[in-house]
Structure 1
């Protein structure tokens, strides 16, 4: 069976640590979508490590890690990540596998991403400029180069053909930046990529299932950034929800078991787009400061706000979440009063659903108020030790989102997780 861990907000929920925490219980960890726009932060031997493409189970020597066909892969970033992993004494060549069907990000994809975002002006979506969108566009446009193509005799001509297509688009954007250095680095990384374990991904993962292996599917970004169900057009270019596991790895829906949804105890968002509970005051600044809310991939300061239970219930519904993991609960330790959004007011009408388009009219959050716990919870180990006000806060969330909070993260370290 396949269990899934994914984000329930706009990404940055702390999935890397959670996957790392659960990984010892699984024999296979698989990334099913996204690309190097994701940044999963882990702490290994007390050192901070940010993985962008390699599954977060890589630091567990006995786990198999696979990058699935739903991912778009940048060979340059992958090579750098492998070097970082190797510096910790991990033999990535032994337990890292990549699907032949995984699409490759080219230097011109990055250039197109940059050129497109620059031209949007005030309408920027907050792209990480990693080439993700253009790479997925070539996938749906049936022009993409896949990892398996790197071994084919026609790879060079295929690359040149796609590059020329991209160059015409770049000319329309008046993009004149010299990317020759990017290309040199790219082809060097391609040769490195070809030395890794390249497999027929869907057969590989189903073979693991048939052997009875415990598999953990790892998602990137968050449910509210899903291309279909997120806050369009301020979304990513892939399906970040649990349904993406099936198409991103090649497994049947009947193999999906538990879906672990990860949410912060509050909300954050990087880049543009709607954010009903955003706080542009001292509370928002305090959340950013205490939570160290800066993008793992971009370094950009995150927008911060109270937890949005309308969006959280929606995310649990479309993912079929069976267990919720609440992260960064300790960030709320110093707050005397807390708030949780339980409905939206749009054009004077109060609603409890996420509208299909959140940009058409201003959204006013309607809040439920809670007393803070004003207690340092970072050293707590047992659920029975949680402050009463914190237990009340969690109990309300449990009931509202129709999914149980089963784990609470109370600090950045792997062992700082309380089972409820």
Structure 2
């Protein structure tokens, strides 16, 4: 049962799209198991760049079946627009499968997300405003709309009425907004039904039968470990579980079927949105990382906050995900620094702390303890093997591997599909 989980080991934006695409030609299914169009993957194939939000990166691999699992929340307009955009560029999207149990992001979920974030002011979370959190809240409160509901108008109408009974009270009385009409929402959602029908499937059955038939299935997480609703830097997190356990619940497979868990690490650290970030840089080094690394959010368009590599976070990701391997991305961005700081521990109230503090207050006050590693100036983008890297770049990779607690099996030395050094095969 060759099932692999591939996920972000930091705050997201580590380069999961490239890693998934790299494996896409060798796997039979790529499954997105959580999140929504608040995630973004950039995949570069030749001279073509693809920005994906809802679709699994495997959609760019002709022999692969891309799957949107039950744990994903789906904005139908975004999904159809993304499919249309790929079709116009000659990408075959006909093999896509969409779980009938995935929850729909409704227009009122988006409205609630935006007005709530504005209302919070300085206490805002930094959401993308795309309705992700409110949709997951509806799911937990058992008033959510699922894909399968689009095919029963009576049930759909009842569910929308139940949801708007409360939400319209909040919108009109608390936020001074106009009430949302039930009929308008139902009509809009029903308009998507036939357009989505060719893709809707019992994806739990499909995935498990694939594993029973020795097919290779790759489970692809959005965001990253430190944005996990349970294990991230709460409350500055997403509303789902990007960690490895989320693959089981978000796709409907048992944990005994997972054979490998691959964490994607950027050679430095970035974060989008609010929340603590111990190694964040506010100087010319931070600006250089942002500029050279092209650190702008695929989904939000916001500049990413940039900082040095944080080994404390990497060790934590190894532990909570049970990581077997790392894929280190964007090593080429660090070319040109004479010395490269790496955070090996935190100082909190005068104490040295080498593991991620469980206390939110402690993490907010954590100051990085750095170890300086020698840099390199040689261009590494053409390196095809580990031995092709400059000695200092090799030493940097080995140091990160030792500090992070799992072997580094691949290294990204550029944005292209072929700009990767594979040390150990993932399959």
1:413 maps to 416
Q: What is the alpha-carbon distance in structure 2 between the residues aligned to residue 357 and residue 27 of structure 1?
A: 41
CA shift at 1:248, angstroms?
Answer: 0.4
1:197 maps to 199
The question of whether the paired residues in 2 share the 8 Å contact of 1:115 and 1:173 is answered with no
1:54 maps to 55
1:363 maps to 366
Matched, 1:4 2:1: no
The question of whether the paired residues in 1 share the 8 Å contact of 2:144 and 2:159 is answered with no
DSSP 3-state at the match of 2:30: strand
- 1:1-400 aligned at under 5 Å gives the runs 1-93=2-94, 95-154=95-154, 155-176=156-177, 186-187=188-189, 190-360=192-362, 361-400=364-403
The worse-fitting range, judged by mean Cα deviation, of 166-175 and 222-231 is 166-175
Q: What is the alpha-carbon distance in structure 1 between the residues aligned to residue 288 and residue 180 of structure 2?
A: 40
Q: What is the alpha-carbon distance in structure 2 between the residues aligned to residue 175 and residue 380 of structure 1?
A: 59
Q: What is the alpha-carbon distance in structure 1 between the residues aligned to residue 126 and residue 242 of structure 2?
A: 17
CA shift at 1:176, angstroms?
Answer: 2.7
DSSP 3-state at the match of 1:229: coil
CA shift at 1:172, angstroms?
Answer: 3.9
DSSP 3-state at the match of 2:370: strand
DSSP 3-state at the match of 2:11: coil
The question of whether the paired residues in 1 share the 8 Å contact of 2:278 and 2:368 is answered with yes
Aligned length: 418
CA shift at 1:71, angstroms?
Answer: 0.4
CA shift at 1:352, angstroms?
Answer: 0.8
The question of whether the paired residues in 2 share the 8 Å contact of 1:408 and 1:418 is answered with yes
DSSP 3-state at the match of 1:25: coil
The question of whether the paired residues in 2 share the 8 Å contact of 1:9 and 1:267 is answered with yes
71 and 193 in structure 1: CA distance in 2 versus 1, 3 angstrom threshold = farther
Q: What is the alpha-carbon distance in structure 2 between the residues aligned to residue 185 and residue 157 of structure 1?
A: 13
The question of whether the paired residues in 1 share the 8 Å contact of 2:345 and 2:370 is answered with yes
CA shift at 1:178, angstroms?
Answer: 9.0
Q: What is the alpha-carbon distance in structure 2 between the residues aligned to residue 126 and residue 185 of structure 1?
A: 31
The question of whether the paired residues in 1 share the 8 Å contact of 2:67 and 2:96 is answered with yes
DSSP 3-state at the match of 1:143: coil
Q: What is the alpha-carbon distance in structure 1 between the residues aligned to residue 393 and residue 194 of structure 2?
A: 49
CA shift at 1:158, angstroms?
Answer: 2.2
Q: What is the alpha-carbon distance in structure 2 between the residues aligned to residue 305 and residue 185 of structure 1?
A: 47
- With normalisation by structure 1, the TM-score equals 0.96
CA shift at 1:299, angstroms?
Answer: 0.7
Unpaired stretches in structure 1, ≥5 consecutive residues: none
- With normalisation by structure 2, the TM-score equals 0.94
322 and 119 in structure 1: CA distance in 2 versus 1, 3 angstrom threshold = same
Q: What is the alpha-carbon distance in structure 1 between the residues aligned to residue 198 and residue 173 of structure 2?
A: 37
CA shift at 1:163, angstroms?
Answer: 2.9
Q: Cα RMSD between the aligned structures? A: 1.7
CA shift at 1:177, angstroms?
Answer: 6.9
Q: What is the alpha-carbon distance in structure 1 between the residues aligned to residue 346 and residue 104 of structure 2?
A: 41
CA shift at 1:120, angstroms?
Answer: 1.0
Deviations 1:307-326 (A, max 9, x none): 00001110011111111001
CA shift at 1:59, angstroms?
Answer: 1.4
The question of whether the paired residues in 2 share the 8 Å contact of 1:306 and 1:341 is answered with yes
Deviations 1:141-197 (A, max 9, x none): 1111111111113223322332333222222442537988x9599437623543322
Deviations 1:317-373 (A, max 9, x none): 111111100111110002111011111110111111111233455111101111111
DSSP 3-state at the match of 2:346: strand
Q: What is the alpha-carbon distance in structure 2 between the residues aligned to residue 48 and residue 16 of structure 1?
A: 11
The question of whether the paired residues in 1 share the 8 Å contact of 2:171 and 2:178 is answered with no
Q: What is the alpha-carbon distance in structure 2 between the residues aligned to residue 164 and residue 379 of structure 1?
A: 59
Q: What is the alpha-carbon distance in structure 1 between the residues aligned to residue 335 and residue 284 of structure 2?
A: 16
CA shift at 1:231, angstroms?
Answer: 0.3
18 and 175 in structure 1: CA distance in 2 versus 1, 3 angstrom threshold = farther
Q: What is the alpha-carbon distance in structure 1 between the residues aligned to residue 180 and residue 172 of structure 2?
A: 14
Q: What is the alpha-carbon distance in structure 2 between the residues aligned to residue 186 and residue 359 of structure 1?
A: 44
The question of whether the paired residues in 2 share the 8 Å contact of 1:150 and 1:194 is answered with no
397 and 177 in structure 1: CA distance in 2 versus 1, 3 angstrom threshold = farther
